[in-house]
Structures are given as C-alpha cells and as structure tokens.
Amino acid sequence: MKDIFSSIASYAEWVKDQKKPLGELASYLSDRIESVDKELHAFIGIDKKAITKRAADLEAKKTKGRLWALPVGIKNNICIKDALTTCASHILDGFRPPYNATVVEKLQAADALLLDGLNMDEFAFGSSCETSYYGPTRNPWDTTRIPGGSSGGSAASVASGEVAVSLGSDTGGSIRQPASLCGVVGFKPTYGRVSRYGLIAFASSLDQIGPITRNIADCAAMLEVISGYDPKDSTSANLDVPKYTEYLDRDIKGLRIGIPKEYFISGIEPGVGKRVKEAIDVFKKLGAELVDISLPHTRFAVSCYYIVGPAEASSNLARYDGVHYGYRSAGAKDLIEMYISSRNEAFGAEAKRRILLGTYALSSGYYDAYYLKALKVRTKIAADFKEAFKNCDVILTPTSPTTAFKIGEKINDPLTMYLSDVFTIPANLAGLPAASIPCGKDEKGLPVGLQLMAPAFEETVIIKAAHAFERNTDFHKDFAGARFKDNNEKI
C-alpha cells in the first residue's frame, strides 16, 4: 500500500499533488478504508454519505485551516453530532448525539476531515478490542492477533494507513497499550489538559482523550489543536497551551531519565525487555543521564484501578436504562422488568462484570473497605511519582509487558487480561502525561513500545525526549499498511 500517511505533511503534499476535488479524494479514502477493513475491522462502519458531506463543506470554505482535509479517525465514544455513537455497545444502539465533543469542535475548526466510528472495547472496558458488540478489531501486523485496547480501532487504523491520525481515550492505558502493540505513537495528555466534554464516560477521574499518530511530531501538532481550557468541562485546567511543536529537534544532553526498578520485572516477555533496554542505550548515547528510581506503590496500582475504575463506571453507566435512548427490551410487564431486561440483554459480559464490581465496592458496608481505601492508595501512587520527579525529568518504562497476543487467548481470563495494563495504569491514577513510542520488534516480528512519563502538564519533556529518540532510530518508519494491497491506488 502506498504510504501517503507517513506524516501529516506527507498527506498534505499528496492532496496538493492530486489536483482533484476533495469529494473525489474523500471517496477514494472511503473505498480504501473499506478494502483494508475487510481484514481489520478497525471501523464499526463507514458512513460514506457523511464523509462526502464533510468533504463538500470543507471544499466550500474560502480559507484552509491547519489540518485541512486531513483524515482523522474518531473513537466511537467521542460524540460527533448526528453520527452513530455507540461505544461499541448494544445498549446505545441507534444513538446519535445532538452535539459535538469539544475536541471534535476543535478539529472541525482546523478543517480536519472526520471519520467516525472507530471500533473499541465496549465502553472502553478492555485491553484487546475483543469486547466490542460489533466484533473484534485485528492487528495490522498479524491479523490473528489483537491490536490492544480499548482504542484498538484507533491504533489499527493509523498503523494500517486507513487514516492519517486518530483520537482515542485513555482510562488505564487505552491509548498507549494499543499504540505499542500496533507500532505507532500514542499520547495520553495530563488529566485536564484536553476537554472531556462529549467523551462518553467510563471513569470520570481517569478518562483522557489523546492522539494516535505515526510519529511524535504529528502528536505534538495534534495536541496543539485539541488541548486547552473548556468551561464545559469542570475538570479542565485553565492553563495556557504550550507550542508543542517548538520542542521538537531539541538536544537531550543532560536530561535525567528515571528507570524504575518496579517496571522491569520477571513477567516481561524477553523480546520486550531486550528492545526497551536497547532503547535505554540509545538515550544514553544521546547524552541523557540515567537515574535509578523507585515507585514502591506500583504493585498496588492494578488492584487500586480495578476498584476506582469500576466504581465510577457503575455510576456513569446507570443512565443507560432503556428509557431515554438506545436499546429497550420488548415485552416487559412493568418498568422494573424493562430496566432489568434492557440492561441484561444489551450490556456485554465485561461491562456487566465491571458494573457489578463497582456497585459492590460502593455499596453500604463496603465503601470504606474498598473504594475509600483505593483512593488512599491512589494518593500514595501519586506521591511516589512526585518524589521520583525530584531526581529525574522523565520516566522510561516498557508500555506493555507483552507484544500482541492471539485473539481469544485471554478473553476468558479477565485477571490475566487486566495485567496487560500494569505499566500504563499508574499514570492515569496520578493524572500524569504519558506516551508510547515504537522501539523495535520482538522475535515474532511484533511491535514493541516504550513509555515515557513526565510531571503534570509537562508534555513538552516527553515530546523533546521522544523526538530525539525518533531522530536517531527508524522504528517509527515501519508501516503495517504495506501488508495490505491497495486496490484503489490510482485515483
């Protein structure tokens, strides 16, 4: 497949060279996605009519914004007005929001061409993109394997060349883990940096929207577009947004990189550990200073997360009752039976599991023992990071302990599945910015990602470090889309 999406700039150059109406290009892109998606299922569905309409609206504009005509995939839990938005769940069958998410408004203001409906784990509950009501997404590097989750469609669509960039959401690693497993860049900004207005909630104190791209420069550009204060989001930070792209091409000599002993454990696959250690050597050769640090409460992060996350999910998902919108069970004798039947029939197994776990943790007599204790542990985890950043500027870890596993391999073992996010969860609990960047492949030819974390609202440090690594390696140039035949290359 022709790699027209190696960067935002390369796509803009391709559009310029085509010298064709945007409607034709949009039709070509839709056909291209349909061709590749027969194997991947990165999209729940392609609305060609809506895409053509958006392209026509862009064509009619007298001025061209920063992202003019750039195809941006949108995860199916981010609201686009009148677009089918289901969170990959049957309970939201037919739901079309009457408003746009703030990030969508910002992308539209920059003249991006929005492509909605990227597949995901149901309500973002998962690490493999297998819990979608519409079926799993497949990894572009090996279609027998998972792409990661919950933003599996977002990562797979970028890695396969279906879109230039995409947006995902990250509650416990749902941008970074699939980015790692698909060999692309995924960036979770600081909690509060990007508005959550219009993001259908999983866990409101953890959720964050962020970009998935082919390289860190494009991530920086996307962050400039989508970041900023939003009065419609009460957790939005009223802070100026840095010019992230100005932190590219910076020297990292003397940058202090923390290496936490708790993240280099025996459970890491050998291929992952080897690639990450080689990446550490690259940083060392570039003049960075390696600092051994400790994050002692890391071992409690997964347990803490699976109390806080489900508790908030239980509260947030209580609104889906079959009354106002979405799926409603037929034939119920009374209101209570309708509530019970609608939720029982339309929520998937993982959604039910998390609702039950969360409801139990919040129930009378158990709140103090579980939820309140988890909040105290969360504070300890955040304090660990605060102490560590006194001695380093950025923290480097593996993103995932494994590369992509086979579809179906862990779906019936939720405890093993939950451990897929063991390295990404702490950043969400502490509200820190974190990114995954490609650092090679394992012995099976599957992508490996390394994670960089920084203090709150210090995304610029990650961008500086990640771009220095990219300039001295070629891992971000690997293109999974080359594996797919482009039947529409001539336009």
Query: What pLDDT, on a 0 to 100 scale, did the predictor assign at position 486?
Result: 58
Q: Is 396 left (phi over 0), alpha (psi -120 to 50) or beta?
A: beta
According to the model, what pLDDT value does residue 324 have?
86
**Could you tell me the maximum CA-CA distance found in the chain, to the nearest angstrom?**
71
Distance CA 320, CA 324 (A): 8
Is residue 174 flagged as an active site residue? Answer: yes
Mark whether 204 is an active-site residue: no
Rounded CA-CA distance 330/172 in Å is: 36
pLDDT, position 136: 98
Per mean pLDDT, which range of 120-124, 244-248, 402-406, 416-420 is the poorest? 416-420
Instruction: Return the closest-CA partner of residue 211 out of 220, 198, 203, 201.
Output: 220
pLDDT at 404 over 90: yes
The pLDDT tens digits of the residues spanning 43-83 come to 999 999 999 999 999 999 989 999 999 999 999 999 999 99
SS (HEC) of 291-316: EEECCHHHHHHHHHHHHHHHHHHHHH
pLDDT at 191: 98
| pLDDT surpasses 50 at 488 | no
Of 6, 7, 30, 75, which is the active-site residue?
Answer: 75
Burial group, residue 330, by CB count within 10 angstroms (0-12, 13-18, 19+): exposed
Rg (CA), the chain: 21
What average pLDDT does range 235-263 have in this prediction?
Answer: 97
The model's confidence at residue 118, banded by pLDDT at 50, 70 and 90, is very high
> Residues 150-175: pLDDT tens digits?
999 999 999 999 999 999 999 999 99
For residue 491, the 8-state DSSP code is -
pTM of full prediction above 0.75 = yes
Specify the DSSP element, H or E, that contains 55: helix 48-60
Strands 113-118 and 256-260: unpaired
Our answer to whether residue 150 is catalytic in this structure is yes
| pLDDT for residue 487 | 45
What confidence score (pLDDT) does residue 364 get? 87
Phi, psi of 322 (to 5 degrees): 80, 5
Is the pLDDT at 446 greater than 90, yes or no? Answer: yes
- Domains with residue ranges and CATH for the chain: 8-298+378-483 (3.90.1300.10)
At 108 the pLDDT is 97
Residue 490 has pLDDT above 60, yes or no: no
Q: How many residues does the chain have?
A: 491
Please indicate whether residue 98 or residue 365 has the higher confidence score (pLDDT).
Answer: 98
| Whether the predicted pLDDT of 267 surpasses 90 | no
> Which pLDDT score is estimated for 261?
95
* pLDDT tens readout for residues 434-443: 999 999 999 9
Catalytic residue among 150, 157, 195, 227: 150
* Of 169, 174, 236, 436, catalytic: 174
Mean pLDDT of all residues in 218-234: 98
Whether residue 469 is predicted with pLDDT greater than 50 in this model: the reply is yes
Say if residue 1's pLDDT is above 70: no
d(C-alpha 280, C-alpha 259), whole Å? 9
In the prediction, which pLDDT does 485 show?
65
CB environment 100-125: b (16+ within 10 A), e (fewer): bbbbbbbbbebbbbbbbbbbbbbbbb
